[in-house]
Amino acid sequence: MPIVLTFLWLGFLPNSFYIMSDLIHLQSTGDIGVLFDAVLFMSFIWNGAVAGMLSLVWVHRAIERRRKGNTATWCVVAVLALTSFAIYLGRSLRWNTWDALVNPAGIIFDVSERVINPLAHPQVFSTTLTFFVLLGSMYLVIWNFAKLIPTKNKR
Gap between the Cα atoms of 88 and 135, Å rounded: 13
Which residues of the chain have a pLDDT value below 50? none
pTM: 0.90
The pLDDT, as a whole number, for residue 153 is: 64
CA angle 151, 147, 54 (to 5 degrees): 80
State the pLDDT at residue 152. Answer: 74
The answer to whether 131 and 17 have CB atoms below 8 angstroms apart is yes
What gap in Å lies between CA 139 and CA 58, rounded to an integer? 12
pLDDT (tens digit, 9 = 90+) per residue, 69-92? 999 999 999 999 999 999 999 999
So what's the pLDDT on residue 141?
A: 97
- Report how far residue 17's alpha carbon sits from residue 130's, in angstroms, rounded to the nearest whole number: 13
